[in-house]
Structure 1
Amino acid sequence: MTQTITHRPTLGDWSTPDELARLQEARLADLLAQAVRSPFYRVRFGTTGIPRDRDDLAALPLTTKQELRDAYPFGLLAVPKAELATYHESSGTAGSPTPSYYTETDWDDLAERFARKWVPITADDTFLVRTPYALMITGHLAHAAARRCGATVVPGDNRSLAMPYSRVVRVLHDLDVSLTWSMPTEILLWAAAARAAGWQPGAEFPALRALYLGGEPLSAARRARIGELWDVPVVQEYGSTETGSLAGECEHGRMHLWADRAIFEVYHPETGEITEAGVGQLVVTPLFREAMPLLRYNLADDVEVTMDDCPCGWALPTVRVLGRAAFGYRVANATITQDRLENLVFTLPAAYGVLFWRAQAEPSLLRVEIEVPDAARTAARVELTELIRTAYDVPCEVTGVSPGTLVPARVLTDVHDVVKPRSLFGHDEDWGRALLYY
């Protein structure tokens, strides 16, 4: 049996970096002892020696995502299978599963971390969870945290035919949903679907009091536009299926790493250097992980970590998640990144009604399309062209297209016929639908 974890730090248990470091040290020995039970780390320790303290931890090689895939399915298991509560795989692995698994005790830690919101989850809330439930951790994480806080959960998913956008906005409106958890792009789709249903975002959803967002990079301008559309605070979250929540925002809009629950490092792949702060790839060692200890796991997410003080008083490192925003395409003599280009798109006046856009970077030309109503099309195209030329000094072609071009109207309004499979049909029915769920 694994050891019982009787106490995990909570915000306020420390007030200085030294006190935080002592909390980490107090837990590290138990974590390293747990890691020895994992077949993967037993092999690794056979070449490096069993780590005993922070210096030994720092001498270990980084654990990579590919190593997690190579250890599929249970090569990192450090508890008897009977103690597992859930099994997960992360998204975007192109056919190579990245496994993750958790005990009930692990889930206590996961839920506590996710619930660290400056706009808190309460028993009075109705909480729409609009992220995947299948295999990934995202939907289950919010669900568990909300139930822990006593909220009413609406399990919306976003990979299910049973929950099209028309149903999402109906649920938001009719159930007086007060909190939501989704990717940022979802919120823009809700706004368009609400308008298609005859409702105005914000004004006709008075119960809504915060939007919890994560799962994709979010530029400052798009974040501001989302907040304006719905007239509520936007609260960002950062984490992964392999680790759960790693960082959350304080009331001053800064993202803080949960360094009382994990040790964080910054890896610089160009030099191989490891630092406490700076710009590089985030390396994480979760401190309260039973089922699948991870030592110096390189998420390979590009981040900027700083140790600056924050008025919130949490005494935690701050992080800016660059993610895919740090990756760009060359056009002429400039590198085009999604974060910067998205920021320009959402710098356009809100009155133009631009919510959806796409771009293609060619060697000598940047092509951009924006959905925009006829009345604002010329002005939006001219202004965005000038913004791009000023920011990048590259040839660009901005085209305004009619609403419904990039996001078809049926996506926002359709109600899918989700049925149970059947095999017997009448003479005037379509038996080509036999066994189908839709």
Structure 2
Amino acid sequence: MTDPRSSLPQLGQWQGPEELLQLQEKQLAQTVTWATRSPFYSGRLNPAALPTTAADLAGLPLTTKQDLRDNYPFGMLAVPKERLDTYHESSGTAGRPTPSYYTAEDWVDLAERFARKWIGMSAEDVFLVRTPYALLLTGHLAQAAGRLCGATVVPGDNRSLAMPYARVVRVMHDLGVTLTWSVATECLIWAAAATAAGHRPGTDFPALRALFVGGEPLTEHRRRRISRIWGVPVIEEYGSTETGSLAGECPNGRMHLWADRALFEVYDPRTGAVSAEGDGQLVVTPLFREAMPLLRYNLEDNVSVSYDDCGCGWNLPTVRVFGRSAFGYQVGGATINQHRLEEIVFTLPETYGVLFWRAKAEPAALRIQIEVDEEHTAAAQAELTALVRAAFGVDVEVVGLPPGTLVPHEALTNMPDVVKPRSLFGPDEDWGKALLYY
């Protein structure tokens, strides 16, 4: 039986930007043809002058998130519904949902892209998937990639009452989990939950060999802290429900765009200019997406793209992802964004024990709360106050809180029952939960 991945580009099949562009444009004509079958693009494309090169493509208007919402649910569909394999919606949308759908053939590309981890995935791995499954792509994507590589997948959805943090720790420990997939914040909460259960995160989970993270901006300081706590590499992934995986880390720790599977541009919303590299919003044209082709889709994520050489030899552009949080909030005359503030928080000495924090940007001052060990409270407050003032030049109030304030101990240790629906209750039971089980 032919491996369905054999028709997809593989790392090492091109040398340099010129050959990569040829690879992209070889597939672009097929991508555009698929797009003409979509009600949305059939009204936007001129059949007599379809784009065949990246330069031609740049002449088309951007596809926006609002376009997807306006065409909910199937206005972007380019295949018969009978061919669809899955339907998804992205998180955090206001008003109409942002729909996304894939065929079984689309899923081969999706899974293979996610599986491009430099540390490798194999049948020897026990892979804990700790991201949402409901409607979002993320959990299903990781599960498909794990199964593609033969790994044992543990579906630990992080939006399910059936998988509290205490159970996550038990599963990681007892099953010998080797790989995990989650947002980076989860890794810190697991560490706290493991400690609450009497485990040492860096010692009592010997099978663990890497933590895959994505879904939120991650600073280098926080990544290093997570890695030191668990004693394994933290490997970042970038993508979206609308597109699947778009970038992954190489062995040198740099994020590379999967430019053999998608065509990327950088858009400056202030000037309207578009370029192949630089700073701006990421625009993507997936090249192997048949069910729902996207031409010049603006993800609205703030990025920095470069074609500088990297010693990994992948010959792919590198990307730094800042997310939409890069816009920040105004405090006094400064703009405060989460990425920079997180960087500062995690420069505090590790001996202070600061893992969890929150901040509120008010017009006149920035308020920050941190969980910190009692003996280090005064020092942590003073140091963080000085660091933030130096970085932003704003008034700041830092308050140290006892551990367990922002992330309560009971959230780390509770193991609630998974209730099934009932209609019949005994005389001393609460029948207020009839039918509505939770």
Superposition TM-score, scaled by structure 2 size: 0.97
Q: In 2 relative to 1, CA 164–76 (structure 1 residues): closer, same or farther, beyond 3 Å?
A: same
> What's the C-alpha RMSD, in Å, of the aligned pairs?
1.4
Match of 1:44 in 2: 44
Q: Do structure 1's residue 283 and structure 2's residue 283 form an aligned pair? A: yes
Match of 1:312 in 2: 312
Q: In 2 relative to 1, CA 51–396 (structure 1 residues): closer, same or farther, beyond 3 Å?
A: same
Letter in 1 for 2:384: L
Q: Could you tell me how far 1:418 is from its partner in structure 2?
A: 1.1
- 1:307-344 C-alpha deviation (Å, 9 max, x unpaired): 10000010000000011341222222322111111111
Structure 1 window deviating more from structure 2 (62-71 vs 428-437): it is 428-437
- Is the contact between residue 282 and residue 298 of structure 2 (CA under 8 Å) also seen in structure 1? yes
Structure 1 window deviating more from structure 2 (151-160 vs 93-102): it is 93-102
Q: Could you tell me how far 1:363 is from its partner in structure 2?
A: 1.9
3-state SS of 1:202 partner: coil
- 1:405-429 C-alpha deviation (Å, 9 max, x unpaired): 1111111111112111010112222
Q: Do structure 1's residue 60 and structure 2's residue 60 form an aligned pair? A: yes
Match of 1:159 in 2: 159
- Is the contact between residue 38 and residue 78 of structure 1 (CA under 8 Å) also seen in structure 2? yes
Letter in 2 for 1:8: L
Match of 1:196 in 2: 196
Superposition TM-score, scaled by structure 1 size: 0.97
Q: Do structure 1's residue 425 and structure 2's residue 425 form an aligned pair? A: yes
Q: Could you tell me how far 1:54 is from its partner in structure 2?
A: 3.2
Q: Could you tell me how far 1:390 is from its partner in structure 2?
A: 1.9
2:235 & 2:389 partners in 1: Cα distance?
32
Q: Do structure 1's residue 392 and structure 2's residue 365 form an aligned pair? A: no
Match of 1:133 in 2: 133
2:6 & 2:162 partners in 1: Cα distance?
41
Match of 1:178 in 2: 178
Q: Could you tell me how far 1:46 is from its partner in structure 2?
A: 4.9
- Is the contact between residue 5 and residue 112 of structure 2 (CA under 8 Å) also seen in structure 1? no
- Is the contact between residue 420 and residue 436 of structure 1 (CA under 8 Å) also seen in structure 2? no
Q: Could you tell me how far 1:56 is from its partner in structure 2?
A: 2.8
Q: Kindly report which structure 2 residues correspond to 1:186-225, keeping only aligned pairs within 5 A, or say none.
A: 186-225=186-225
Structure 1 window deviating more from structure 2 (38-47 vs 64-73): it is 38-47
3-state SS of 1:19 partner: helix
Match of 2:263 in 1: 263
1:68 & 1:101 partners in 2: Cα distance?
12
- Is the contact between residue 300 and residue 324 of structure 2 (CA under 8 Å) also seen in structure 1? no
- 1:37-77 C-alpha deviation (Å, 9 max, x unpaired): 11110011159953344333121101001000101001111
- Is the contact between residue 88 and residue 100 of structure 1 (CA under 8 Å) also seen in structure 2? yes
Letter in 2 for 1:203: T
Q: Can you give the 5+ residue segments of structure 2 that lack an aligned partner in the other structure?
A: none
- Is the contact between residue 5 and residue 109 of structure 2 (CA under 8 Å) also seen in structure 1? no
2:170 & 2:48 partners in 1: Cα distance?
57
Letter in 2 for 1:235: I
Q: In 2 relative to 1, CA 349–48 (structure 1 residues): closer, same or farther, beyond 3 Å?
A: farther
3-state SS of 1:263 partner: strand
3-state SS of 1:180 partner: strand
Q: Can you give the 5+ residue segments of structure 1 that lack an aligned partner in the other structure?
A: none
Q: Could you tell me how far 1:377 is from its partner in structure 2?
A: 1.2
1:78 & 1:328 partners in 2: Cα distance?
37
Identity %: 68
3-state SS of 2:163 partner: coil
3-state SS of 2:22 partner: helix
Match of 2:231 in 1: 231
2:204 & 2:343 partners in 1: Cα distance?
27
- 1:8-51 C-alpha deviation (Å, 9 max, x unpaired): 10001112111111111111111111111111100111599533
- Is the contact between residue 238 and residue 247 of structure 2 (CA under 8 Å) also seen in structure 1? yes
Match of 2:25 in 1: 25
3-state SS of 2:377 partner: helix
3-state SS of 2:14 partner: coil
1:133 & 1:43 partners in 2: Cα distance?
34
Structure 1 window deviating more from structure 2 (326-335 vs 28-37): it is 326-335
Letter in 2 for 1:44: R
Match of 2:372 in 1: 372
Q: Could you tell me how far 1:95 is from its partner in structure 2?
A: 3.4
2:193 & 2:249 partners in 1: Cα distance?
28
Match of 1:79 in 2: 79
Aligned residues: 435
Match of 1:104 in 2: 104
Match of 2:169 in 1: 169
1:151 & 1:98 partners in 2: Cα distance?
31
Letter in 2 for 1:213: V
Letter in 1 for 2:226: I
1:362 & 1:428 partners in 2: Cα distance?
50
- Is the contact between residue 48 and residue 60 of structure 1 (CA under 8 Å) also seen in structure 2? no
- Is the contact between residue 286 and residue 295 of structure 1 (CA under 8 Å) also seen in structure 2? yes
Q: Could you tell me how far 1:94 is from its partner in structure 2?
A: 2.2
1:84 & 1:221 partners in 2: Cα distance?
42
3-state SS of 1:59 partner: coil
3-state SS of 1:134 partner: coil
Q: Could you tell me how far 1:385 is from its partner in structure 2?
A: 1.4
Match of 2:123 in 1: 123
3-state SS of 2:247 partner: strand
Q: Do structure 1's residue 16 and structure 2's residue 16 form an aligned pair? A: yes
Structure 1 window deviating more from structure 2 (47-56 vs 257-266): it is 47-56
